[in-house]
């Protein structure tokens, strides 16, 4: 019991400061926009067409930024940045479990909690000047119905998205725990692969180790054996056990949710020693070195370009490509082997908002034309959390045009052919930029 109580007190100590930060941001944007308050809706379920069931409920991220209530539709936060935040907590009379949970949660004392037994009772709690209140949520018809005058103002959303990049100590602790738990799952998944399991079975081992199912996970797990690792968004789970002699490689990209915050971790494992195992080790060195290059004031897109330089040198050193580094990058050859971005912001969402924003009013800087899939162009600053996830893949649909094109004769196709059965490599860590250096949440959790 003691460690859990310690964890509880850590969270309650950090939570006051977290709420102070959110209150300050709320005051600031309300003043800027001449608004009176924010009515933040947890959301509603969506009915499946011609069915009597709903899709899994996904809470509004602006709601879970305030408290870790992730599974309850029809809740509201009424905040003006000054008064104690009002939480309208939906508790239909026939569901008593929520009531039992409440008194133990560390966040309870920080809210003026009122209960709704029916969704429409929200109307009884809204202030008189609700025309001056912004609605934040995904159900504009509800905002209209209850008379909230300002639905999802763009200036408010931009402001909140921009500032969300700077995590509070409470949020960093959530992200640390999301990594601790995720690493437990990754170790179980690796053991399961090494024991001969199928993709489906490995995924079960992961979910069992983290104690979360597919609906709670921040994204669909990628569990890929052999050539499936070359399919970047492979979310199929084969039930087939691959015989030992045909087992080559295993890539797993899987995270967990902790109090509404995501981890996003990838590891690649080789079944046996050899060239592919060496390539994993070499990319791992490059990944750690690029992480060491993260500095406040550098732009994320520049770090991405540096990773292409590193990859080009790796392709040279392993004799996969015989070209100069500049030529390889300039002609797009490194894009063939590393076609996605180096990483993205991480937090309430796995691809957290604000990666392209250059100012709080939302000024957008698109990814460079050469790297259209990059998800972050922002200047890196203290308090931000990123993924760093370089990859090196053997993807047929990208290799074919290279083979036929002008640079085709500079590629060692025998070597490519030998590595194709392994699919590819991605190594993804979650890192925090502090004033005195980078904290690697994933590695420090033991992966
Ligand atoms: N798992 C999604 C990503 O790595 O961005
Ligand atoms: Mn990932
Ligand atoms: Mn990622």
Nearest CA to ligand 1 atom 3: 264
Q: Residue 390 corresponds to which tokens in the numbers above?
A: 């370089």
Q: Is 429 in the pocket of ligand 1 (CB under 6 A)?
A: no
What pLDDT is attached to residue 104?
A: 64
What pLDDT is attached to residue 98?
A: 46
| Residue numbers in the chain where pLDDT is lower than 70 | 1-6, 94-104
Atom of ligand 1 nearest to the CA of 343: 5
What pLDDT is attached to residue 423?
A: 98
For ion ligand 3, residues whose CB falls within 5 Å: 264, 387
For the CA atoms of 254, 205, 194, 287, the dihedral, rounded to the nearest 10 degrees, stands at 20
Q: Is 253 in the pocket of ligand 1 (CB under 6 A)?
A: yes
What pLDDT is attached to residue 92?
A: 86
For ion ligand 2, residues whose CB falls within 5 Å: 253, 264, 266, 428
What pLDDT is attached to residue 240?
A: 98
Distance CA 139, CA 421 (A): 47
Tracing tokens 């330089």 back to the chain, one arrives at 309
Nearest to 388 by CA among 426, 357, 349, 338: 426
Largest CA distance in the chain: 74
Distance CA 279, CA 227 (A): 16
| 288 Cα: distance to centroid of ligand 2 (angstroms) | 17
Q: Is 352 in the pocket of ligand 1 (CB under 6 A)?
A: no
Helix (H) or strand (E) holding 75: none
Nearest CA to ligand 1 atom 4: 264
What pLDDT is attached to residue 101?
A: 57
Nearest CA to ligand 1 atom 2: 264
Q: Is 269 in the pocket of ligand 1 (CB under 6 A)?
A: no
| 255 Cα: distance to centroid of ligand 3 (angstroms) | 9
Q: Is 57 in the pocket of ligand 1 (CB under 6 A)?
A: no
């Amino acid at each position: 019991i003691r460690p859990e109580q310690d964890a509880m007190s850590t969270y309650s100590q950090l939570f006051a400061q977290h709420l102070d930060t959110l209150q300050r941001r709320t005051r600031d944007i309300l003043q800027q926009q001449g608004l009176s308050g924010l009515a933040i809706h947890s959301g509603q379920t969506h009915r499946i067409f011609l069915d009597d069931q709903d899709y899994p409920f996904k809470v509004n991220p602006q709601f879970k930024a305030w408290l870790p209530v992730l599974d309850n539709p029809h809740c509201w936060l009424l905040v003006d940045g000054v008064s104690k935040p009002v939480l309208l907590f939906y508790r239909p009379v026939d569901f008593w479990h929520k009531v039992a949970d409440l008194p133990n949660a560390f966040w309870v004392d920080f809210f003026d909690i009122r209960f709704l037994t029916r969704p429409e009772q929200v109307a009884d709690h809204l202030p008189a000047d609700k025309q001056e209140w912004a609605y934040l949520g995904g159900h504009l018809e509800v905002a209209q119905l209850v008379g909230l005058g300002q639905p999802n103002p763009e200036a408010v959303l931009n402001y909140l998205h921009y500032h969300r990049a700077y995590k509070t100590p409470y949020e960093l602790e959530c992200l640390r725990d999301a990594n601790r738990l995720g690493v437990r799952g990754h170790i179980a998944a690796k053991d399961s692969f090494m024991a001969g399991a199928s993709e489906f079975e490995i995924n079960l081992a992961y979910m069992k180790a983290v104690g979360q199912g597919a609906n709670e996970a921040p994204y669909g797990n990628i569990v890929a054996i052999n050539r499936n690792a070359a399919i970047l968004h492979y979310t199929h789970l084969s039930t087939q056990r691959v015989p030992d002699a045909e087992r080559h490689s295993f890539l797993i990209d899987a995270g967990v949710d902790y109090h509404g915050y995501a981890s996003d971790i990838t590891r690649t494992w080789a079944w046996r020693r050899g060239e592919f195992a060496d390539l994993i080790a070499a990319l791992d060195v490059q990944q750690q070195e690029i992480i060491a290059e993260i500095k406040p004031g550098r732009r994320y897109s520049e770090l991405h370009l540096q990773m292409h330089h590193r990859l080009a040198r790796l392709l040279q050193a392993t004799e996969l490509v015989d070209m100069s580094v500049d030529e390889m990058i300039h002609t797009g050859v490194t894009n063939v082997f590393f076609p996605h971005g180096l990483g993205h912001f991480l937090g309430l969402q796995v691809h957290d908002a604000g990666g392209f924003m250059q100012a709080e009013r939302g000024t957008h800087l698109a990814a460079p034309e050469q790297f259209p899939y990059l998800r972050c162009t922002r200047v890196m600053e203290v308090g931000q959390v990123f993924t760093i996830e370089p990859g090196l893949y053997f993807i047929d649909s990208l290799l074919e045009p290279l083979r036929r094109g002008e640079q085709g004769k500079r590629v060692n196709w025998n070597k490519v052919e030998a590595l194709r059965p392994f699919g590819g490599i991605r190594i993804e860590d979650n890192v925090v930029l502090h004033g005195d250096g980078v904290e690697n949440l994933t590695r420090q959790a033991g992966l």
